[in-house]
Structure 1
Amino acid sequence: MTRFTAAALQMRSGTEPEKNAATLSELVHEAAAKGAQYIQTPEMTGAVQKDRKALMAVLKGEDEDVIVRTASGLARECGVYLHIGSTAIAVGDGMVANRALLFAPDGTVTARYDKIHMFDVDLDNGESWRESAVYRPGENANLAGLPFANIGMGICYDVRFADLFRAYALAGADVLTAPAAFTRQTGEAHWHVLQRARAIENGAFMISAAQAGQHDDGRETFGHSIIIDPWGRILAEAGDAGEAVITAEIDTDDVAQARGKVPNLKNIRAFTLLESGNSQGAGEKATAKD
């Protein structure tokens, strides 16, 4: 049996990384004071900025980034595992990595993950996003082994791709993560059901810190940072605006119990997809777009 206290930090990051780093410091200290050993921040901790030119003007490489420097110091000072849900890192050629970093209690980076799935969507009421125009998608998933749990790393839109989280669960993940900056429109429709579904179908804890409220760049994010147990029960949840620290006790024995009750990971079977009757032919399906 392994137990630990996890915290999710809800933020309302602005466009200035230095100010966001100061908020990060305050919230990490609050979480550590509550006994958290693993602390997670939202997607885009360092800056929420939809204007590409303005974003590029404040970005640095990982070695010079203020969030990376601050997080390393905080992990060391507080003796915690600090998971920066993501921050924008300049990677050259005018592109950016939407990068998660997990810091060990000695301040070193023990795991990195670049967001794989790009949020390229056209929503109702003219809301449109093209992450691929700015961000370079990641190519590798990362299962981070900590002394008390194996952590599967995802970011925001990744939560809609169940195969990523299934791969983590099959590899031994106890905790799955999707720190986010969900829009209010998509959050109201899908946030809770997606977070609970990933926990239930994989028999794992789900921890997702979130951005919340009205941001300096004009966007509005959904909030509701959340911690869910392997049976799909919500252990802790923040509100829909402003900063917050939520915590929950994690017992990794709950993972084995949930997977023992519903052993769907063991019951996976290979299958062949047949196309019968009046369905479209294989050639048509191959070129069809969702």
Structure 2
Amino acid sequence: MSSITKTMSKFRMAVIQLQVGSVKADNLSRARRLIDEAAQQGSKVVVLPECFNSPYGTNFFAAYAENIPGESTQLLAQAAKHNNIYLVGGSIPEEDAGKLYNSCVVFGPDGHILLKHRKIHLFDIDIPGKICFQESETLCPGNTLSTFDTPFCKVGVGICYDMRFAELAQLYSRKGCQLLVYPGAFNMTTGPAHWELLQRARALDNQVYVATASPARDPSSSYVAWGHSSVVNPWGEVMVQAGSEEAVIYADIDLQYLAEVRQQIPITAQRRHDVYTVTSVP
């Protein structure tokens, strides 16, 4: 029998696929309006996209970087408190002691910071003829796991490229997380190929809910985001998915359903009593 109480076994979350432009004040204003809208629809957890206050690109990070707390995070703190929600603040370029980071700040319903996650795995790829991008040219990596507790469940946080690393999701699962959130900005090469696949894999491997928040697609920008923000359930099914344009999507997270999936198909060491014998091969 699950220990989850009926009153806490379900909650609504919202994922905001924000249209991000070059004017920071406009990005912040639009984000605040959509956060308020999501809360008015009953959302208890709201997620913003990667780089929600700034165009995404190595040539933008320094110009848009802020200290934390700063202009963008103060707005998020006010929005979380005003709406009495848990707010996953996508990510912003953060400046700290002369270094730049890609950082996600999470706020509680009282407006206080619950955690700051600095992107661990920097986005350094080179696909000949398609895309070359090197976050490490300007950004420094984080090195910590980031989880926060809600009355509903524990939540693990990663940013974009972090989602490709199955070990991170496994560690979060072992720490008791039932929801993983990844603000991210996959592009027109990696998005169609891997965006949905990775979300479904992380959800299925760990029997957790996975939510991803992308910027909306802007074909005129130097980095064109794929969009398609999504929520995937522990069975590996896409519950809801945005298109390419600005949108707010909603999903009702059912932790009793998660418990049933884990009971029906036990896969973790705690729920199985398998003994693995490792033999060395000469």
TM-score scaled to structure 1, two decimals?
Answer: 0.88
Whole-angstrom CA distance in 1 between matches of 2:277 and 2:103: 35
Is 162-171 or 217-226 further displaced after alignment?
217-226
Is 254-263 or 227-236 further displaced after alignment?
254-263
Aligned residues: 272
- Map 1:14-163 → 2, pairs under 5 A: 14-52=21-59, 54-64=60-70, 66-93=71-98, 95-163=99-167
Tell me which residue corresponds to 2:19. Answer: 12
State the Cα distance separating 1:106 from its structure 2 match.
1.0
CA shift in 2, pair 1:5/1:249, >3 Å: same
Q: Deviations over 1:256-287 (max 9, x none)?
A: 211112211124766648567xxxxxxxxxxx
Task: Say whether 1:200 aligns with 2:204.
Answer: yes
CA shift in 2, pair 1:92/1:275, >3 Å: farther
Equivalent of 1:222 in 213, 219, 226: 226
* Aligned partner of residue 185 in structure 2, secondary structure: coil
CA shift in 2, pair 1:144/1:230, >3 Å: same
Contact 1:181 1:212 in 2 (8 A): no
Whole-angstrom CA distance in 2 between matches of 1:150 and 1:51: 33
CA shift in 2, pair 1:234/1:132, >3 Å: same
State the Cα distance separating 1:63 from its structure 2 match.
2.3
Amino acid at match of 1:169: S
Tell me which residue corresponds to 2:263. Answer: 260
* Aligned partner of residue 67 in structure 1, secondary structure: helix
Contact 2:130 2:189 in 1 (8 A): no
Contact 1:50 1:217 in 2 (8 A): no
Is 209-218 or 107-116 further displaced after alignment?
209-218
Whole-angstrom CA distance in 2 between matches of 1:22 and 1:271: 57
Contact 1:183 1:222 in 2 (8 A): yes
Whole-angstrom CA distance in 1 between matches of 2:122 and 2:275: 29
Equivalent of 2:190 in 186, 193, 202: 186
Equivalent of 2:215 in 211, 214, 217: 211
Equivalent of 2:249 in 246, 250, 253: 246
Whole-angstrom CA distance in 2 between matches of 1:28 and 1:214: 21
State the Cα distance separating 1:217 from its structure 2 match.
4.1
Whole-angstrom CA distance in 1 between matches of 2:171 and 2:107: 23
Dislocated runs of 4+, deviation >6 Å: none
Is 172-181 or 211-220 further displaced after alignment?
211-220
Give the CA RMSD over aligned residues: 1.8
Q: Deviations over 1:119-163 (max 9, x none)?
A: 111024241111112111111011211111110111111111000
Whole-angstrom CA distance in 1 between matches of 2:247 and 2:133: 27
CA shift in 2, pair 1:269/1:152, >3 Å: farther
Question: Please, which runs of 5 or more residues in structure 2 have no aligned partner?
Answer: none
Question: Please, which runs of 5 or more residues in structure 1 have no aligned partner?
Answer: 277-290
Amino acid at match of 1:123: I
